[in-house]
A and B are shown apart, each in its own frame.
Chain A
Amino acid sequence: MSRDISRRSILAAFPLAALSVSALTACGGGTSSASGGASSPVSQADIDAAMKKDTKLTFWTWVPDIQKEVDLFQAKYPAMKVEVVNVGQGGAHYQKLRAAIQAGKGAPDVVQMEFDKLPSFTLTDNLLDLTAYGIGDLKSDYPAWVWDGVSPGGKGIYGVPQDTGPMGMLYREDLFTAAGLTVPKTWDDFAAAVSTYRGKNPSSMLVNWAPSSEANMLGLFWQAGGRPFSYDGTKNVKINLTGDAACKKVTSFWNDLFRSGNIGNEPDFADAWYQGLNSGKYASWLTGAWGPVFLQGTAKSTAGKWRAAPLPQWDPSKPASGNYGGSTDAVLKSSENPIAAAMLARFVNTDDKAALTLANEQFLFPPSTKTLKNPAFADAPSSFYGGQKVNQQFTDISSTVQEGFQFLPFNDYAASSYDKTMGKAIGDRGDLNAALSAWQDDLVQYAKGQGFTVAS
């Protein structure tokens, strides 16, 4: 749901003069991390006092109908007046956020922040460490890998988890059966199924894998145990795509599939791709837990024919998965009302009613163990999936995601660098293994150019 879909967003015209002006806004001001930020724990008395004071908060998010949860917050704390603003989805959201931060004014108090973008904003010291605001006592409510996402490397807490995307496989049961296939348990089974399927259906394919797919691919690296990146919060980054056995294994596996010509390489979230899912050109989709509801809205004519299963495994005795997408709500350091802002971020995602509404009405896949286990969520059957309890399936998958995965503190660049190396190889069915090296080299060069000390 809250996966970065900036690729779909439409950018405005960009003549030379506008560029200079934008460059101006993008670079003016200075760091604006002056206000806000308690280092010693905030007491309950402080919180009570702050929540009774008339306060105006701004909340930037692109979650549809989030006003429902905000209304619950305002009903509980009548002194709070929250303005919800949707400045755009994905890329546009972060560009406007950066511009507001650099300008030193106009930034929100609370902001939706995807897991993979969070380190980019802690790097520039824009997010408030919520440790002092009591957010730490939420830790035990979440699977360890989810908490990793808001507390990269275990240093500080920079957001409250909103939704996640543990990866599974959505597949057309009718097409699988017609081809005489069962759900592949291992990646070897999967590779065999790919060629069997293609043999029986010359004009369609078992799966499509898009060129611009960094977040998706990182999910597969994650599943295989790959930990290519880390950042220590100062100036040291690790970039080790080519030295990480799991990353190499996954890359080489997909390289063979692309080279065989038996899987698709069409750009995702584009017309032809939607059409492909609708028409049966693609019989499966490897995606995050937000995928089932997304597909339901996209491939309407195939209702009842889809099922959900875990990803194929590298080692079936130790089921694993990775995460693809998902967001947190973070508080900006520049907020003048950090206590109220932290309480808002906490409330909309953890209040029982708010959390269940997010899961069941806005269809955000819940991060907290409590909501995942809530029968009102987990036991809901889905008719699009032939009555299967899809939520239950992804809840089970969520518990198999391993911890310790980190994103680079410049993931925007990492994704665009992926597009021109790995993505290009996928699009051209070129050498994916060589592209992994090219991606590695490009990232190292960028990191060094930005002043990082790079280890591999």
Chain B
Amino acid sequence: MAAYALSMPFMIAFTLMIAVPLAYAGYLSLFKKQLIGGVSFVGMDNYARALTDASFLGGVGRMALFLVIQVPVMLGLSLLFALILDSGMLRLQKFIRLGVFLPYAIPSVIATLMWGYLYGKDFGPFAQLAKSLGLPAPDFLAGGNVLFSIMNIVTWGFVGYNMIVMYAALRSIPAELYEAARVDGAGEWRVAWSIKIPAIKGALLLTTIFSVIGSFQLFNEPNLLRVIAPAAIGQDYTPNMYAFQLSFVNQDANYAAAIAFLLGIVIMAVSYGVQLTANRKEKAS
């Protein structure tokens, strides 16, 4: 009985803040509301429409590409920084640790505005540099480049966060293991590869799953860059932007609810896939 009582606060918050809104969104997604003609029950029609909607599928595809390129780069960098910090070979350790982490403390809105300025092709520093060298100014906001420009912003913002998670995990590895490895003749690289990385597998999985979820939910960065690159970034650039557009511009909240649900399912499936792969590897090794 005490167990129920103790879990009550969580259950109440969970029900009110998560379960009820989700259920209501699910309920809404089964209806259609027209400006003329009002509300009607349409069953799974909204879902069927989403599965053939080029805007939704395009957004999911774009985010999948984002994930495949950006997440490995970001986590690779995080791991590298964490290992370097952990090796204790750096001077000014604390200063560097804080420096890498600092971008995470900057709100993504501010970060995007700042990068938007840096990317500018008239007066951004990169453009100025290119001009002074007599080269054509790079167009970071052109259709083909903008996805990579967004990846850069997100990477810049989150490398430090992931690094801290990994670094904390590295610090909890017992030092005896290193001593034993040294006695066996292992160098720093060998220790990192054979002891440190396997030991922080849990942290790596955690950061991967967070990054997967973050990728599909991308909203702030592209939505703000849209102001300066409206032709390259459409309103349906990411699934979340599309859902926002559907709900507040198209006045089609019911369809937006279906899109949100489908996106949730995609995220769950990919996250589960990541976890499953990790578990299999563990069993195999």
Indicate, yes or no, whether A interacts with B. yes
Binding site for B on A (CB under 8 A): 7-8, 10-11, 13-17, 19-24, 26-27, 91, 95, 98, 123-124, 210-212, 235, 267, 269-272, 275-276, 281, 409-410, 412-413, 416, 419-420, 423-424, 426-428, 446, 449-452
Q: How many Å lie between the Cα of A427 and that of B230 in the bound state?
A: 8
Least distance between A309 CB and chain B CB atoms (Å): 27
Task: Evaluate contact between B33 and A27: CB separation under 8 angstroms.
Answer: yes
Q: How many Å lie between the Cα of A95 and that of B253 in the bound state?
A: 12
With A10-B224, A16-B217, A272-B123: A267-B230 Cβ-Cβ less than 8 Å: yes
Q: Does B117 contact A (CB under 8 A)?
A: yes
Task: Evaluate contact between B24 and A24: CB separation under 8 angstroms.
Answer: yes
**Sampled A-B contacts (25; CB under 8 Å):** A11-B220, A13-B219, A14-B220, A16-B240, A19-B260, A20-B25, A23-B25, A23-B256, A24-B24, A26-B253, A27-B33, A91-B248, A98-B248, A211-B231, A212-B230, A272-B122, A275-B122, A276-B122, A410-B35, A416-B245, A420-B236, A423-B230, A426-B231, A450-B36, A452-B36
Binding site for A on B (CB under 8 A): 17-18, 21-22, 24-25, 28, 33-37, 108-109, 116-117, 120-123, 143, 217, 219-220, 223-224, 226-232, 234-236, 240, 243-245, 247-251, 253-254, 256-257, 260, 263-264, 267
What A residues does B228 contact at CB under 8 A? 267, 270-272
Task: Evaluate contact between B21 and A20: CB separation under 8 angstroms.
Answer: yes
* CB contacts between A and B, total, < 8 Å: 137
Cβ contact of B247, chosen from A10, A23, A123, A410, cutoff 8 A: A23
CB closest residue in chain B, given A430 = B231
Max chain A Cβ within 10 angstroms of own Cβ: one of B21, B35, B223, B254: B35
Task: Evaluate contact between A11 and B223: CB separation under 8 angstroms.
Answer: yes
With A23-B28, A235-B36: A271-B256 Cβ-Cβ less than 8 Å: no
CB closest residue in chain A, given B33 = A27
What B residues does A270 contact at CB under 8 A? 227-228
Least distance between A57 CB and chain B CB atoms (Å): 27
Task: Evaluate contact between B109 and A10: CB separation under 8 angstroms.
Answer: yes
Cβ contact of B17, chosen from A17, A91, A123, A446, cutoff 8 A: A17
What A residues does B230 contact at CB under 8 A? 7, 210-212, 267, 419, 423, 427
What A residues does B18 contact at CB under 8 A? 17
Task: Evaluate contact between B35 and A450: CB separation under 8 angstroms.
Answer: yes
CB closest residue in chain A, given B232 = A427
What A residues does B35 contact at CB under 8 A? 123-124, 409-410, 450-452
What A residues does B226 contact at CB under 8 A? 7
For the complex of A and B, the 9 pairs showing the least CB-CB separation, nearest first, are A427-B231, A451-B36, A20-B25, A451-B37, A451-B34, A450-B35, A20-B21, A27-B253, A26-B253
Task: Evaluate contact between A420 and B260: CB separation under 8 angstroms.
Answer: no
Task: Evaluate contact between B34 and A14: CB separation under 8 angstroms.
Answer: no
What A residues does B263 contact at CB under 8 A? 16
Task: Evaluate contact between A20 and B122: CB separation under 8 angstroms.
Answer: no
With A14-B244, A26-B248: A20-B34 Cβ-Cβ less than 8 Å: no
CB closest residue in chain A, given B223 = A11
What A residues does B25 contact at CB under 8 A? 19-20, 23-24
With A13-B220, A272-B122, A451-B36: A416-B235 Cβ-Cβ less than 8 Å: yes
What B residues does A26 contact at CB under 8 A? 247-248, 253
What B residues does A212 contact at CB under 8 A? 230
Task: Evaluate contact between A420 and B234: CB separation under 8 angstroms.
Answer: yes
CB closest residue in chain B, given A28 = B24
CB closest residue in chain B, given A410 = B35
What B residues does A427 contact at CB under 8 A? 230-232
Task: Evaluate contact between A16 and B260: CB separation under 8 angstroms.
Answer: yes
Q: How many Å lie between the Cα of A412 and that of B256 in the bound state?
A: 16
Q: How many Å lie between the Cα of A129 and that of B36 in the bound state?
A: 20
CB closest residue in chain B, given A210 = B230
What A residues does B234 contact at CB under 8 A? 419-420, 424
CB closest residue in chain A, given B235 = A416
With A272-B123, A416-B249: A16-B235 Cβ-Cβ less than 8 Å: no
Cβ contact of A423, chosen from B28, B231, B245, cutoff 8 A: B231
Task: Evaluate contact between A413 and B22: CB separation under 8 angstroms.
Answer: no
Q: How many Å lie between the Cα of A10 and that of B21 in the bound state?
A: 25
What B residues does A451 contact at CB under 8 A? 34-37
Cβ contact of A20, chosen from B22, B231, B245, cutoff 8 A: B22
What B residues does A410 contact at CB under 8 A? 35, 251
